[in-house]
Copies of this chain bind each other. A is one copy, B any other.
Amino acid sequence: MSPRSAVRPGGRSARVQQSVHAAVLELQAEQGRASLTVPQIAARAGVTPSTIYRRWGDVQELLSDVAVERLRPEAPPADFGNLREDLENWAVDFIEEMSSPPGRSYIRDALAGDPDGSNAGQCSAYAIEQVEAILARAARRGEHVPDTDTVMDHVVAPMMYRVLFRPGLLDPQYARDLVTAVFYRLMPLP
């Protein structure tokens, strides 16, 4: 749920949403998100504060809304011709994006202003979508592929756990090692 409830999709409402989002991004870049206030965002966006309060409720829900939009993947995962490289490169890109200061900030904002968990669900839906694209492509090639949930549990989840709870233990090699472990697990036992 971007805005508080179903919003008229076009015209003035769309313009307001766009200018408010743009104002948030501008002000975040200028002064960080700690000191953002609704009246300030409203002034920059050219709307009245009450418009923001009625539509988003408070600053956090607005920031959560903006964060989810910025976390949406912009392109399908790159195709390297085989599952292993596809997964490894996607995981490395993912960890680099999510562990960067803005990435971590967006994740925390997305979770913080999300009373019903729908924004968090959208974040995982983005990751699932990307993983499934990689797995489906590999399956079409005839490769043996793990379940989506296996990749989510053992590649995505460990990375996100460290982003949220253990920053400082994150580097591209960690992402590669997690992918390697999934392939190791994929091999048949004696």
Q: Which residues of A contact B (CB under 8 A)?
A: 34, 60, 108, 111-112, 115, 117, 120-121, 123-124, 152-154, 156-158, 160-162, 164-167, 178, 181, 184-185, 187, 189-190
Contact = CB atoms under 8 A, between A and B. Distances in A.
Chain A at the B interface: SS class: helix
B152 A34 contact: no
A117 B158 contact: no
A124 to B, nearest CB: 4
A153 B112 CA distance: 23
B115 A164 contact: no
A171 B184 CA distance: 26
Copies of chain A in the complex: 2
Contacts of A161: 124, 152-153, 156-157, 160-161
Contacts of A178: 153
Contacts of A189: 187, 189-190
A165 B123 contact: yes
A120 B153 contact: no
